[in-house]
Structure 1
Amino acid sequence: MAKFTQRGCDVLSVLTAIGSLAVLNGCASGGQPLSLTPGGLPAVTGYTEGNAVMPQGYQVSGGGDNALRVTVTGSATTPNERLLKIALARAAQYGTEQNSKTFRAAEPAYSVRCGKTSVSERGATRALSPTDYRVVTLDVTFGKSSSADPADRPTKPTAAALLAEIQAEQIPQETQAALAAQLAQACGRSAP
């Protein structure tokens, strides 16, 4: 009987480990599968929440005094315009969740985050395939009432329109390759 119990525990441990890995993959990818394009380039960033394991996607900080900062981290193949749409969509959606009628976005700040090309392990240097990112940061303020000011955007219709646009948008393979090469050059490397 002790043998059966030990074997049962071993099987249960393996199944638990497999389940945990599946959950971590789902969390890391924002619910989307981790993938590369047919050309071997990273996939274009979608409307997902980023996290420490998989930084691609939006992250929200602040929220006090009707203000918010949305930071969107995108793959090397994602155009800045798409990242800005994701930031605006998340801001509009957040405003809707907070019952705000309008939101106003400041000028976006664009930057890049260059990945490591090597790592030292036990005195030896090992080469890495770097992962570079495009980053857009957007500061947003919200209003509880409608406004005639053209800089103020309505939250609910803006969120719906931008989400539909992001969903329908297709980035051509040639454009993705050019964007990846451009980012590699900005990070001081040759094209991937």
Structure 2
Amino acid sequence: MRRRATATLAVLSGMGGALLVAGCSQSGIGATGIGAFAGVGPVPYQHASAFMPVGFSESLIGQDRYRIEVKGPLGSPRERMEKIALTRAAEIGKDAKHKYFKVEGVQVSNSCKSYVTGGKPGSMGAGKTKVSAHTILTADVTFAPAPADPSFVETRGAFERYRAELDQDQTSSPPVDPSTAQCG
């Protein structure tokens, strides 16, 4: 498993890190699959990485402002992705000792990228085109020492409350059905 992931990374690096973007349709996803995400449960509360792109990531975009990105399999429910963004915002606030936060500027989009798998020529799977398809939610978060308006949430206790809601949803959410969503 590790060798396969390394080979794919080497191919992407050899291409200057550029990925060919292609449109996905319902038939395209069914034909190529979306790897380990087909028919899986809800998006987990975890950091996303190059090897596990499903989850959340964040970046500092200004003083006391973060951008949180939640990436899930194509067709992931927006409500779950919003809860993950809220939970991550509360966790950042708790860790940085910010008293209040507000989530704003939420956007949802779909992303489809085609890539060619690596490996030795002639080996199983080498040189095949695969599609990576995701739903992406992006939310901007502002932290403040006092609530500037009623939409600010008190950080203390919010992380535990939101995390408990996510854990409950994890057991009651239906599996993601990628055939119901499209990219483009």
Normalising by the smaller structure, the TM-score range is: 0.5 to 0.7
Counterpart amino acid of 1:46?
A: P
**Structure 1 residues 156-181: Cα deviation after superposition (integer angstroms, max 9, x where no partner):** 222221111110112224xx32xx12
TM-score normalised to the size of structure 1? 0.65
Choose the corresponding residue for 2:128, options 117, 126, 129.
126
Please list every run of at least 4 consecutive aligned residues from structure 1 whose deviation after the TM superposition is greater than 4 angstroms.
Answer: none
| 1:30-45 matched pairs, under 5 angstroms | 41-45=39-43
Identity of aligned residues (%): 28
CA distance in 1, matches of 2:149, 2:74: 36
Shift of 1:149: 2.6
User: In 2 relative to 1, CA 160–127 (structure 1 residues): closer, same or farther, beyond 3 Å?
Assistant: same
TM-score normalised to the size of structure 2? 0.68
User: In 2 relative to 1, CA 120–152 (structure 1 residues): closer, same or farther, beyond 3 Å?
Assistant: closer
Query: Which has the greater radius of gyration?
Result: 1
- Other structure's SS at 1:111 match: strand
**Structure 1 residues 3-29: Cα deviation after superposition (integer angstroms, max 9, x where no partner):** xxxxxxxxxxxxxxx9xx5xx9xxxxx
- Other structure's SS at 1:61 match: strand
Counterpart amino acid of 2:55?
A: G
| 1:15-54 matched pairs, under 5 angstroms | 21=2, 41-54=39-52
1:78 maps onto 2:76 in alignment: yes
8 Å contact from structure 2 (residues 133, 183) kept in 1: no
Gaps of 5+ in 1: 1-17, 25-34, 188-192
Gaps of 5+ in 2: 6-34
Shift of 1:55: 1.1
8 Å contact from structure 1 (residues 43, 77) kept in 2: no
**Larger RCO (alpha carbons 8 Å, 6+ apart):** 2
RMSD: 2.9
Partner of 1:150: 150
8 Å contact from structure 1 (residues 99, 144) kept in 2: no
8 Å contact from structure 2 (residues 111, 183) kept in 1: no
**Structure 1 residues 79-103: Cα deviation after superposition (integer angstroms, max 9, x where no partner):** 1111111011101110111111100
Partner of 2:142: 141
User: In 2 relative to 1, CA 56–71 (structure 1 residues): closer, same or farther, beyond 3 Å?
Assistant: same
CA distance in 2, matches of 1:144, 1:75: 36
**Structure 1 residues 105-158: Cα deviation after superposition (integer angstroms, max 9, x where no partner):** 113111111132x63888x97343x2311100010110123x373111111222
Higher strand share: 2
CA distance in 1, matches of 2:117, 2:50: 22
Partner of 1:13: none
